Structures are given as C-alpha cells and as structure tokens.
C-alpha cells in the first residue's frame, strides 16, 4: 500500500502563536523559493495524491536545539511568508514527541530534521526534497541510504538516520536517500547554502547519468 504523503505521525504539542520575530528567514526563504522553482519542493496533482512535498529548516543558534522549519502542506506556495514557518523548540525523539509554536504546524518530516540536528552540533540546516531522478539513481550515485522498510516520519526512520551517522557514511557525503519514502532525499550542512547546492549538484549528476544511459 502506498504511504500517505504529508501526514504528521509524531505526537505534537503546538502553540498557535507567531514565531520569534528576531529570527531572520530571508536566506532560508530565498533558497526554499529556488528549490520550489526546480520542482524539488512543491505540489504536483499527479504525484503523492496531490499533496505537498519537501521541507526546509534552519537552526538559528547552535547553542540550543531550536530550529525553524517550513510548515506542513505549504509545498504549493511559491514564496512563503513568516506565517508559513514554525519553530520546533523541544524534541524527544525516544518518545516521538515535538513541541512547537507558529501560525502553522511543523512539516511531517520535522522529526527527521530533529534527528539529523541531534547527530552533529555543527549542523545548521536540513533540507528534504523529492527528486525521482536522484532517488532512482541512489546506487549509481553511491548515495548513503536508509532501508526500504523505514517509512517517513516513523521511529524506524529516526533510528535509520542515527545509524547512518554512526556508520560514518555521512562524514564526507552529507546527503542520503530515503528508500522507504518515495523520491525522498535529505541533505544537511553548516549553512543553508551548502545542502541546497549539494542537492542541485546531485540532481545534475543524476541527469547526466540518465542522459548517458539513454544514449547507449
């Protein structure tokens, strides 16, 4: 049975009030708009039951675990406003529980973002996109990946992400494919631009492989 995209699976305690007004979202939002134009974040009536896909987050302060993430089902909006982001300020991965605030609830992949941030204190940004071209070329691109039986937004996915970090496979390649989440790709880095450029370069490599195969 095909998974239902965009459904929040973790326990959530959400406060419906604006996020911190001092946090700058301009660079985050600019990169999100670029990824939207590339179709890596968005909504397609022909895919995933017409629901939105992809999300982006930023940790403004390395001294705490709070991060700002695009809200659930905002994929169809070309340029987000502050009201479309929310702040996750407490995460208990073991209990699969998040606390957040904002005028929208956090993305359904917020728990995966939290898990990535937890692995390395220097990580400032996490981006989750959907790219059939990259996902289908996971082996050819030699991408680290989570197992096919680890579905998005589940404890199994959180454990799989932690195991990838512990294996050392993400030390050089700060990107992985989610084999149990159709077309799902995650990249991370110490600035918002690093994972964004990594995803764009990886897409370019996937398309180059595709072109080479077509010419054979």
> Quick check: is 56 in a domain?
yes
Q: Pick from 196, 190, 13: which is nearest to 106 by CA? A: 13
What is the pLDDT, as a whole number, of residue 6?
A: 46
Please tell me whether the overall predicted TM-score, pTM, comes out greater than 0.85 for this model: yes
Model confidence at 114, pLDDT cuts 50, 70, 90, reads: very high
Mean pLDDT of all residues in 186-211: 95
Model confidence at 2, pLDDT cuts 50, 70, 90, reads: very low
Q: Could you give the CA distance from residue 78 to residue 28 in angstroms, rounded to a whole number?
A: 13
> Quick check: is 4 in a domain?
no
The whole domain housing 53 covers 11-215
Q: Could you give the CA distance from residue 34 to residue 112 in angstroms, rounded to a whole number?
A: 22
> Quick check: is 171 in a domain?
yes
Strands 11-15 and 97-102: parallel
For the chain, give the percent of residues with pLDDT over 90.
68
Q: Pick from 88, 46, 40, 44: which is nearest to 185 by CA? A: 40
Q: Could you give the CA distance from residue 136 to residue 138 in angstroms, rounded to a whole number?
A: 6
Distance of CA 80 to the CA centre of its chain: 16
> Quick check: is 5 in a domain?
no
Structural domain count, the chain: 1
Q: What is the CATH number of the domain that holds 129?
A: 3.40.225.10
Tell me the per-residue pLDDT of 12-54, one tens digit each, with 9 for 90 and over.
899 999 998 777 899 999 999 999 999 999 998 888 777 889 9
Mean pLDDT of all residues in 107-121: 90
Q: Could you give the CA distance from residue 111 to residue 113 in angstroms, rounded to a whole number?
A: 5
What is the pLDDT, as a whole number, of residue 35?
A: 97
Tell me the per-residue pLDDT of 153-171, one tens digit each, with 9 for 90 and over.
778 888 899 999 999 999 9
């Amino acid at each position: 049975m095909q998974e239902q995209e965009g459904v929040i699976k973790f326990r959530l305690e959400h406060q419906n009030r604006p996020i911190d007004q001092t946090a700058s979202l301009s660079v985050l939002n600019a990169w999100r708009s670029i990824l939207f134009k590339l179709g890596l974040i968005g909504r397609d009536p022909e895919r995933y039951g017409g629901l939105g896909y992809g999300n982006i987050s930023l940790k403004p302060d390395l001294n705490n675990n709070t991060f700002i993430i695009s809200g659930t089902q905002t994929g169809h909006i070309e340029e987000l406003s502050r009201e479309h982001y929310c702040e996750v300020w407490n995460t208990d991965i073991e209990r699969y529980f998040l606390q957040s605030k904002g005028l929208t609830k956090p993305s359904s992949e917020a728990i995966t973002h939290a898990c990535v941030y937890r692995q390395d204190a220097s990580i400032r940004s996490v981006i989750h996109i959907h790219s059939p071209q990259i996902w289908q070329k996971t082996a050819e691109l030699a991408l680290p990946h989570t197992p096919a039986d680890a579905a998005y937004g589940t404890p199994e996915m959180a454990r799989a992400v932690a195991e990838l970090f512990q294996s050392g496979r993400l030390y050089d390649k700060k990107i992985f494919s989610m084999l149990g989440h159709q077309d799902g790709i995650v990249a991370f880095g110490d600035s918002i631009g690093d994972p964004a450029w990594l995803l764009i370069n990886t897409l370019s490599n996937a398309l180059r492989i595709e072109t080479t195969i077509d010419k054979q």
